[in-house]
């Protein structure tokens, strides 16, 4: 089985976020980066499938701009004849959860999202999807297929020293972004939420103050129904 895993770099959680002068993104020139955590679960699942089924795992990342673009990824992997393409459910920085489903459309692959279990069968795949309210759904798909992996599907392993040294010898192929790929969205403004507080004094008797408090919690804060 030949498996592709799409990954993304995101700013480490410990880094103090600062908006750039143009107010369009963060100042990432001096930031430290790490693997997007949801993508780590997709990579771990690919490695487990390889251990069971054999084959190879290929990791694909869009860069040097640190935004994963489905069109660029599709152009890079469409001719590789992958049996399975895995992505994380979403990215830690923007969290749109769109790359996997858009990539499946561009590759012309059947896909399933929020996957909690993957079983390889003779006819293709049997996967377990997480639904709302504690419900799950089993779905069958032919291969090749694309799956977006839910975080927590497996236990992440730490890379061994031997694995790190072996990774340094792996070939890294760079694929140019096709000229026809154009950004379909633009960040117009980015800002850090402003902290504000307001104090209101409820007057009258204790019963009147209680009624006013309940009304404000229900109608203004909307924490009561």
Tokens (6 digits) for 92: 């830690």
The helix-helix angle for 99-107 and 70-77 (nearest 10°) equals 40
Q: Is the pLDDT of residue 118 over 90?
A: yes
**Where does residue 80 rank: exposed (0-12), middle (13-18), buried (19+ CB within 10 A)?**
exposed
Tokens (6 digits) for 29: 């020139």
Average pLDDT over residues 169-189: 80
Q: Which residue has the higher pLDDT, 175 or 110?
A: 110
Q: Is the pLDDT of residue 65 over 60?
A: no
Average pLDDT over residues 68-81: 87
Q: What predicted TM-score, i.e. pTM, was given to this entire model?
A: 0.79
Q: Is the pLDDT of residue 180 over 80?
A: no
Q: How far is CA 48 from CA 52, 136, 165, in A?
A: 6, 22, 20
Average pLDDT over residues 67-75: 80
Average pLDDT over residues 160-184: 82
- Tokens 């487990």 belong to 48
**DSSP states of 107-175 as a string?**
HT--EEEEEEEEEEETTEEEEEEE-GGG-EEEEEE-SSEEEEEPTTSSPPPPPPHHHHHHHTTS-----
Q: How many Å separate Cα 189 from the centre of its chain?
A: 22
Average pLDDT over residues 20-34: 84
Cα dihedral 147→35→90→193 (10° resolution): 180
Q: Is the pLDDT of residue 66 over 50?
A: no
Contact 218, 210 (CB under 8 A): no
Beta bridge mates, 138? 128
Average pLDDT over residues 43-51: 96
Residue 64's pLDDT band (cuts 50, 70, 90): low
Tokens (6 digits) for 147: 């799956």
Model confidence pLDDT, tens digit, residues 192-203: 888 777 788 888
**Where does residue 174 rank: exposed (0-12), middle (13-18), buried (19+ CB within 10 A)?**
exposed
Q: Is the pLDDT of residue 105 over 90?
A: yes
Average pLDDT over residues 91-100: 89
Average pLDDT over residues 166-170: 87
HEC sequence for 122-133: CCEEEEEEECHH
Helices (H), 19-97: 37-53, 70-77
Q: Which residue has the higher pLDDT, 25 or 113?
A: 113
Provide φ and ψ at 123, rounded to 5°. Answer: -85, -5
């Amino acid at each position: 089985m030949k498996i592709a895993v799409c990954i993304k770099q995101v700013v480490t959680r410990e880094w103090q976020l600062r908006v750039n002068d143009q107010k369009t993104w963060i100042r990432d020139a001096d930031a430290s980066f790490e693997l997007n955590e949801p993508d780590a679960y997709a990579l771990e699942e690919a490695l487990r499938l390889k251990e069971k089924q054999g084959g190879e795992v290929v990791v694909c990342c869009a860069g040097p701009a640190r935004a994963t673009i489905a069109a660029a990824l599709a152009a890079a992997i469409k001719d590789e004849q992958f049996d399975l393409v895995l992505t994380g459910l979403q990215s830690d920085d923007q969290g749109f959860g769109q790359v996997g489903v858009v990539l499946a459309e561009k590759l012309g692959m059947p896909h399933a999202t929020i996957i909690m279990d993957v079983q390889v069968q003779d006819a293709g795949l049997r996967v377990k999807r997480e639904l709302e309210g504690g419900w799950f759904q089993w779905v069958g798909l032919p291969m090749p297929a694309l799956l977006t992996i839910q975080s927590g599907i497996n236990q992440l392993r730490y890379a061994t020293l031997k694995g790190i040294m072996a990774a340094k010898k792996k070939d890294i192929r760079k694929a140019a972004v096709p000229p026809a790929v154009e950004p379909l969205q633009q960040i117009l403004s980015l800002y850090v939420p402003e902290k504000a507080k307001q104090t209101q004094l409820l007057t009258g008797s204790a019963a009147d103050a209680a009624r006013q408090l309940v009304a404000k919690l229900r109608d203004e804060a909307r924490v009561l129904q």
